[in-house]
Amino acid sequence: MNPLLDLQPEVADELAAGRPVVALESTIISHGMPWPQNVETALAVEAEVREHGAVPATIAIVDGRLKAGLSRDDIERLGRDGQQTAKVSRRDMPMLVARGGTGATTVAATMIVAALAGIRVFATGGIGGVHRGAPTSFDISADLQELARTPVAVVCAGAKSILDLRLTLEYLETHGVPVIGYRTDRLPAFFTRDSGFGVDARVDEPREIARVMKAKWDIGLGGGLVIANPIPVEHALPREVVDRAIEQALAEAQAQGIAGKAATPFLLARVNALTGGDSLASNIQLVLNNARLAAAVAVAFAGLSQPDTLVPSGCSGEN
């Protein structure tokens, strides 16, 4: 075990016994939603994972320690401090650990800590990707490179719709990251079920996803997988409404010189405001939906090494 890593006792016990654990990120708590919905959502997501047969491990850096599994007090602290909390990706981890700081982990940093802990399944809202205008700005999320190098399956509602989704898919293809659609042939775009782009393969059952994961890593191929899980129909937003809000938010960000780490929280907050709060409600529902599927995949993956274990053939979440 890495000497800088602390496993919550329950998480350590489950991993030692080969039972299913699902990693959860913490930037959604500090930067993705306002107080108090951020803490309420984080606790609800953990409860959803438990209800579907796995143990949650929310990941963060707390007082210089890598944490796989947070206490309620830790979650409350991240939620109350909000955007005053450091947003931590791969490049930021050494400084924060060395200085004994506290930070919320992005998709990339969460994958790193999950892999160190031995957790193979991670649920989030949406992955980062290639930003619009990247051919001149070179603004590409570290999430994509982490997916190329770190062996964790990421269950998400596709890539965030504020991104250049065509270039994001091209990047993932170049780096050998499979994009699997759960019960869909189309790449979802966070708030909407269809981005207009296809996925690499459609898979209809969690156990089949687990087999793909095992095959990839048994072959010796590094890196992760994207499990694209569309937002439930009843919570999806019309694509034209989202596109219109995104265009306005992007124009405002450019006018205000907002870029880099600050861009995604700003854009998501503006899209939420421009949709009258509908996007926040959709965000919460898609994260819960991803937690359900991630738990089912984690149960199935754990069951592959225990052939006598009954493994659910489906996920209770409706798409």
Distance between start and end Cα atoms, the chain:
38
Contacting residues for 276 by C-beta, under 8 A, at least 6 apart:
none
25 is catalytic: yes
Strand 65-68, strand 55-62: pairing: antiparallel
- Residue in the structure block whose two tokens are 């269809």: 194
40 is catalytic: no
Closest CA to 87 of 31, 125, 36: 31
- Residue 39: how many other CB atoms lie within 10 Å: 18
Catalytic residue among 14, 46, 146, 160: 160
Instruction: Compute φ and ψ for 100, nearest 5 degrees.
Output: 70, 30
Strand 121-123, strand 153-156: pairing: parallel
Catalytic residue among 25, 46, 48, 76: 25
Catalytic positions, written as ranges:
25, 160
